[in-house]
Structure 1
Amino acid sequence: MPPFARASSFTPPRAERRPHRFAAHGVEICDDYAWIRAQNWRDAIRDPSALPLEIRTLLEAENAYADSVLADLAPLADKIYEEMEGRIDETDSDPPARDGDWLYYRRYRAEGQHELICRRPADGCDETILLDGDLLAEGKDFFDLGEALHSPDHKLLAYSCDERGNELHRIRWRDLASGAEGADIVEHCDGTIVWTRDSRAFLYTRMDDDFRSAQVFLHRLGADPATDRLILSETDPGWFVRLRAARSRSHAVIKISDHDCSECWLVDLAATESPARLVLPRREGLRYDVEPGRDRLFMRTNSDGAFDYKLLSIALDALDGGEWREEVPHRPGRMIFNATAFADWLVWLEREDCKPRLMAKSRNGAEEELHFDAPCHHLRLQRNFDFEQPILRLSYSSLTEPEEIYDYDLATRARVLLKRQKVPGGHVPAAYESRLDFATAPDGEKVPISMVWRRDRKPGPGPVLLYGYGAYGSALPDSFDETLFSLIDRGFLYAIAHVRGGTEKGSRWYEAGKLEHKTNTFTDFISCARHLCALGLTEPGKIVAEGGSAGGMLMGAVANLAPDLFGGIIAEVPFVDVVNTICDASLPLTPPEWHEWGNPIESAEVFRRLLSYSPYDNVKAQAYPPMLIEAGLTDPRVTYWEPAKWAQALRARMTGGGPILLKTNMDAGHGGAAGRYDGLEEDALRQAFAVAAVGGDIRGESPDASR
């Protein structure tokens, strides 16, 4: 029986066609499903109960149809969920991080969905639970704990949480001695918290009415938030404001940026009454970020042609007229993507041809590299409160090896393993193999592909899950993901297509996948799929493609361009209604997006280019593979109506194939379910869909039986 054969037994929802016509640059567009976008969409994102009944009924009908079609997959999805749950360390805990006389850490209780924020004395064992995420989440359809940060004097805790999935956080604080909560609650924040040195106030970022982070305020504990003092405000809707604390905790760093340039400001956390200090004014094409050290300010920047970035420094007390000193020169192809500072050390992460490295430089100029040998691995800097001591906390994992967390002494090069991720039920890295390969794109570029599979995978063409993104300069990490092994143990090869639009091969790789070069992202992904076929690892129809958000647009594009290549498509919160969205400046993310996609309001050339590849506008009269499309009702990034309209357009125009399944999480936003077990249910369903899409065993047998 063909995959999803029973879909013909059910009638998919058919939304009424209500043609909405508009013209731009001499081109008339007819959008049959524009009405699915609620006129009160802002209210609906803030409060789902405000969604008009007609639209809610459609989304619920879509969910019911998808559930009916996928009902046969329930045994397999349940089995995969059970396997995933079995790989979770139920009482997982971070290695404690010392701050003064205390050790701080996060952990889970058995069967807990959310983290517990804890501490214990550095010289003792008595634990105090400072914040109980499970308790805070009780009775809520959605709960996501944002930041939870103790004050410098260790007497208070401020924390943020999102209770809708719309990324609008509330910030509360509590007294750690009494447990009493402050009555002053700060609303409509992005969740970031930076304490002042006196522990009597914190900085936060406020969101505007269009869900954009736009202003930084100072809140004094106990004061009415309406009286909070404005520190910095950005009025250009194309720019976002980001706030963080420096590692030294001497300053807050405010970064204001779009996709093309940035500017940074410093706030002295011991003297917040003083004005914020501008580092460098914004200038077209100038991107930089900064990190205050003991007496110097370090800057990662693309200035003067350093498109893959260099590191500079200047005396902190000479910002207005001092000279910048080069610390690490620019080298084309070596992307410096993160940097931080200790009292006497500069540390940075760099990437070349998909391979990350950790580098460090001492105050006396000596450089060193911390090296790992795995062909596909990921490095990440972890939080460490001690600025004076040269102890770097680092996590390492690979496609086959679970995460390991180390304390690395930069002075002595001693490496101490603090934690190796537990995978209950057993995980044997030697049973799996990973590889970095390169596909050839139509223009001759070499596109990296990371892949992992079981060593005893049957020879010959087998099933593949191929993941892609390719936007905003985001590089996909080759990190360990225990949830993937249910699929891999069923004979799948898992592959990541590092297509243009990311920075896996430096900034040039990003620039070659945006604006007028955007279609390289799509053709790169198709080239990766065909390369896997040419290697004999798979064949057309046995590849399931997956991507989310901008990667969901990639899914829509490749489904239009090469539908016969894929046995199935998984598109999570897909950005597919490109023309309508990027032509509407009132939508939350549209003005900032013009540097990524172009401005079709001002440019006829840009308009026609977007129209040529927008997935929603290019659905064709052809057969499409089965598709699982996911949306979030309270998503401010990719609004719910984009995937809903796309599903309707596909069903209306396709000549065969499918089914087209739309599942909308009515209680969540861009990231889906927030609880660690709730998220596994979504993962398990995707994997069951992938197995079914390539004709695999859906009976819920163990992986060994299915192989």
Structure 2
Amino acid sequence: MPAAPTAPVRTVERLHHGISFMDDYEWLRDKSDPETIAYLEAENAHTEAATAGLEKLRGNIYAEISSRIKQTDMSVPQRSGDWWYYGRTEEGRDYGFSCRIPVDKEADPWTPPVIPEEGRPEGEQIILDLNELAEGHEFFALGASSVTDSGRLLAYSVDTAGDERFELRVKNLETGELLEDRLENIFYGAAWAGEDFLFYTTVDDAWRPDAVWRHRLGTPQSEDVCVFREDNARFNVGVGSTRSRKYMFIVTSSKLTTEAWVAPVDEPESEFKVLWPRRDGVEYDVDHAVVGGVDRWVVTHNATGPNSAVAECPVGTLGDELPAFEDMHELVAHSESARVEGVDCYRDQIFLGYRAEGIGRAAVMRLTGEVDERGFGSFEEITFDEELYTVGVVGNPEWDAPVVRLSYGSFTTPAQLLQYRVADGERTLLKQQEVLGGYDPSRYTAYRLWTTASDGAEIPVSVVHRTDVDPLAEPRPTLLYGYGSYESATDPAFSVSRLSLLDRGMVFAIAHVRGGGEMGRAWYDHGKQLEKKNTFTDFIAVADDLIDRGMTAPDRLVMEGGSAGGMLAGAVANMAGDRFRGILAVVPFVDPLTSMLMPELPLTVTEWDEWGDPLHDPEVYRYMASYAPYENVEPKDYPDILAVTSLNDTRVLYVEPAKWIARLRATARGNFLLKTEMSAGHGGVSGRYARWHQTAFEYAWIVHEATGLRA
């Protein structure tokens, strides 16, 4: 194997608050420099050579993944207006097809039609062939895909670089022709207002969505009207409409504060009116309901407590002052034990999403039958039998539907799509993810452990393995995953690819550390800014606990973290690398202090609410400097590290893992590998076969690190 590349040292000084840091590898930030590209390509060649002995294992895992997935498949048709919409995939094709058939006026309007898996049903219309759109591009991602209420026009956008800048086109679905309209350099999403107007967002130089625009069909983009611009660099904007199709919303939000503006859908050229002006630290989310014949706002807010509450008030006249959150009629009061995550309003029911005991849950309120004087009922939880599961209300565009679709799954139950009849609670299984090759859920088990952190906090740990594997009988090869940022919860979900680990006798575990959202808002608050180190020490406590229980051992334990979880991986490598045999860091945020000192970078200013502002606050600077993975690499033994990144990633720039690996190799002792996808973004490669190959590459490395296997 050739020697690992050595990045040239070109030291620059970073000086803030009287503190100097000498950065040897900041020159790698310039991806227009041929020397930077040559270095990344040399690292790729070295990684390929270093993992060449795992080629057979990679091939076996890829074959296992592809053999378990039903490659010619389709989704359950979903009704919108006079059409049933669905997606289909075909074996051998990287991307899917978006299709529709008309609603049969003679059939039950809410029972989806049965579509044959082979061949095309009568009346099927392919509205988008993603394979055709992706042809000739190394990377492809679909952004917007939105059809007008009439079903006549489709707005869709594509990204062919991975940098999350999209081009939008409009297709006449009656003729199949593309309109002349072309919107360039827009952000995710697009919202229709009738048949003639589209609303969309654009980003500023720091890649922050800061402006909402109105486009009239048939006019050039240069004539589009900016209807809202957010000048505060901590805020991002978005635009959409209510399920009732009555109101358009513009929402501008930071990590801590929200403000919503509204206009009638049928008056797209009218002025947007603010609902509740922003109050620092108050977050809210608004939906529209009609209760007791009155238009009402149903609002999730944290004005009365950090775990949020749900309240309501009449809409009244847009622009009039509304009651304060504290004075509104409460539907769900703040609770110390349950975190309210939001509501979903329909004509005859309201669904509530909340989190209790570390599990996301759903409840329904019926607006017919037993209701109070305002017309509201009470919320009733929708229960399930498994200890660990994930449930959500998904894919329900119709306002007046008497049935609602729920997604359900767990670590051992493949994803299910359920139809829930609201009137009587009847559930019908519409589809279950099919796992080919005779998958038997009884061969696998999942359960929860609890680890006590150094300060007494009880950390939930999810554990999955085969039932014939007893991790208490002897230490088992184990993959421990963690994230712990942005109040994001890592919920129980089935994974086809994970079976390749479990079937090789491995244990998979998730440390639900502070900074995440599993245990309520306080769980998040105590794992960010000047308490960020709790995320790292929690993870180390879980690793120590698994080792102390005899479930695994340092020479059999591998860690995985991605994005902000990659920063967790880098910090743990510095603080407690001796607990691990290997660490996989995917698009890792490992140079956070440098990034947070550069407000011109994508996301930096908006991220100050998450990490703190080291540019202006010396206390934050010193705190971040004490844990930033890149700056705290030490001349000592490290576990094997594989870092995976993408050249066009705009969220975590490739330069962070590139600098980190260069510094590790120059300073520490260990085997350090860097793999850069040269035509991809934050989500990695596109195309399902390429993604399976990427997963096989990463899993082969994990398996080899944990077990020593090469096949």
| TM category, shorter | over 0.9
Counterpart Cα distance in 2 of 1:341 and 1:535: 46
Aligned residues, how many? Answer: 676
Deviation at residue 424 of structure 1 after TM alignment: 1.3
Contact 2:70–2:436 (Cα < 8 Å) also in 1: yes
Which of 634, 649, 653 is the matching residue for 2:663?
Answer: 649
- Could you tell me how far 1:413 is from its partner in structure 2? 0.8
Mapping of 1:149-168 within 5 angstroms?
Answer: 149-168=146-165
Deviation at 1:463, TM superposition (A): 0.7
Secondary structure at 2:184 match in 1: strand
Q: Deviations over 1:525-580 (max 9, x none)?
A: 11111111222211112111001110000000000011110111000011111111
Secondary structure of the 2:51 match is helix
Give the 3-state SS of the residue equivalent to 1:313 in structure 2: strand
Which position in structure 1 is the counterpart of 2:524? Answer: 510
- 1:461 offset after TM fit, Å? 0.4
Q: Determine the C-alpha separation between the residues in 2 that align with 1:266 and 1:437.
A: 45
In 2, Cα distance between equivalents of 1:92 and 1:267: 40
SS of 2:73 mapped into structure 1: coil
Question: Aligned to 2:554, what secondary structure does the other structure show?
Answer: coil
1:562-603 CA distances to partner (integer Å, 9 max, x unpaired)?
111011100001111111111111111110111111111111
Give 2:125's aligned amino acid.
T
- Correspondence for 1:17: 9
- The answer to whether the aligner puts 1:86 opposite 2:82 as a matched pair is no
Superposed CA offset, 1:215-250 (max 9, x none): 111111121011111121111222111223322222
Summarize the alignment of residues 88-237 of structure 1 with structure 2, pairs less than 5 Å apart: 88-123=69-104, 125-197=122-194, 199-237=195-233
1:37 correspondence with 2:20: no
| Deviation string, structure 1 residues 90-117 (Cα, Å, up to 9, x no partner) | 1222211112321011121222211211
Q: CA deviation at 1:356?
A: 1.8
Supply the distance in 1 between the matched residues of 2:250 and 2:547 (Cα, whole angstroms): 47
The structural deviation recorded for 1:367 is 2.4
Aligned counterpart, 2:345: 341
Counterpart position of 2:417? 405
Tell me the residue number matched to 1:298.
298
SS in 2 for 1:63: helix
Q: Specify the alignment match of 1:367 in structure 2.
A: 379
Unaligned ranges ≥5, structure 1: 1-8, 39-43, 45-50, 701-707
C-alpha distance in structure 1 between counterparts of 2:277 and 2:321, whole Å: 14
Q: What SS class does the counterpart of residue 185 from structure 1 fall into?
A: strand
1:41 aligned partner: none
Instruction: Give the whole-Å Cα distance in 1 for the aligned partners of 2:333 and 2:162.
Output: 42
TM-aligned CA deviation for residue 425 of structure 1:
1.4
Distance (whole Å) between structure 1 residues aligned to residue 240 and residue 507 of structure 2: 39
Matched residues in 1 for 2:101 and 2:488: separation? Answer: 37
Larger mean CA deviation between 324-333 and 630-639 belongs to 324-333
Q: Distance in 2 between matches of 1:388 and 1:307?
A: 33
The SS at the match of 2:181 is: coil
Q: Which amino acid aligns with 1:151?
A: T
The answer (yes or no) to whether the contact 2:275–2:322 under 8 Å persists in 1 is no
Give me the whole-angstrom Cα distance separating, in 2, the residues matched to 1:492 and 1:163.
37
Shift of the alpha carbon at 1:665? Answer: 0.4
Which residue number in structure 1 is paired with residue 457 of structure 2?
A: 445
Say whether residues 1:596 and 2:610 are aligned partners: yes
Please name the residue that 2:108 is paired with.
none
2:475 aligned partner, one-letter code: P
Matched AA of 1:79: N
Correspondence 1:166-565 to 2 at 5 A: 166-197=163-194, 199-294=195-290, 295-304=295-304, 306-318=305-317, 320-323=320-323, 324-363=328-367, 364=371, 365-457=377-469, 459-565=473-579
C-alpha displacement of 1:366: 3.1
The residue number in structure 1 matching 2:118 is: none
Amino acid at match of 2:160: E
Measured against aligned partners, the alpha-carbon deviations of 1:332-354 in whole angstroms (never above 9, x if no partner) come to: 12011132101132211111121
TM-score, normalised to structure 1, is: 0.94
Q: 1:576 touches 1:646 (CA, 8 Å); kept in 2?
A: yes
**Structure 2 equivalent of residue 704 of structure 1:** none
Instruction: Give the aligned partner of residue 117 of structure 2.
Output: none
- Quote the Cα distance in structure 1 between the aligned partners of 2:506 and 2:581: 13
Inter-partner Cα distance in structure 2 for 1:61 and 1:250: 56
TM-score normalised to structure 2 length: 0.93
Superposed, 1:555-704 pairs within 5 Å as 555-654=569-668, 656-657=669-670, 659-698=671-710, 700=711
TM-aligned CA deviation for residue 318 of structure 1: 4.9
2: CA distance, partners of 1:495 / 1:371:
25
| SS at 1:638 equivalent | coil
Distance 1:314 1:89 in 2: 48
2:410–2:492 Cα contact (<8 Å) kept: yes
Structure 2 residue matching 1:474: 3-state secondary structure: coil
Q: Deviations over 1:9-55 (max 9, x none)?
A: 431111110110121111111000011111xxxxx6xxxxxx22111
SS of 1:317's equivalent in the other structure is coil
| 2:498 partner SS | helix
User: In the aligned structure 2, how far is the partner of 1:244 from the partner of 1:407?
Assistant: 25
Separation of aligned partners in 2, 1:321 and 1:605: 40
Contact persistence 1:577–1:642 (CA under 8 A): yes
8 Å Cα contact 1:342-1:390 kept in structure 2: no
**Distance in 1 between residues matched to 2:157 and 2:245, nearest whole Å:** 20
Distance 1:333 1:17 in 2: 52
SS at match of 1:129: strand
Rounded to whole Å, the distance in 2 between the matches of 1:221 and 1:368 is 44
- Mapped to 2, the partners of 1:309 and 1:411 lie a distance apart of 28
DSSP 3-state at the match of 1:691: helix
**Residue in structure 2 matched with residue 47 of structure 1 by the alignment:** none
Deviations 1:602-652 (A, max 9, x none): 111111000000000000011111111011101111111100000000001
CA contact (8 A) 2:81 2:149 kept: no
Q: How far apart in 1 are the matches of 2:63 and 2:540?
A: 33
- Aligned mates of 2:315, 2:76 — CA distance in 1: 33
Q: In the superposition, relative to structure 1, how do residues 238 and 366 fare at CA in structure 2: closer, same or farther (>3 Å)?
A: closer
8 A contact 1:161–1:191 mirrored in 2:
no
Following the alignment from structure 1 to structure 2, what is the Cα–Cα distance between the partners of residues 266 and 547? 39
Distance 1:317 1:674 in 2: 47
CA contact (8 A) 1:170 1:191 kept: no
Bigger shift: 356-365 or 430-439? Answer: 356-365
Distance 2:428 2:506 in 1: 35
| One-letter amino acid of the counterpart of residue 316, structure 1 | V
SS at match of 2:514: coil
Q: Which runs of 4+ in 1 moved over 3 A?
A: none
Percent identity over paired residues? 39
Cα drift, residue 670 of structure 1: 0.5
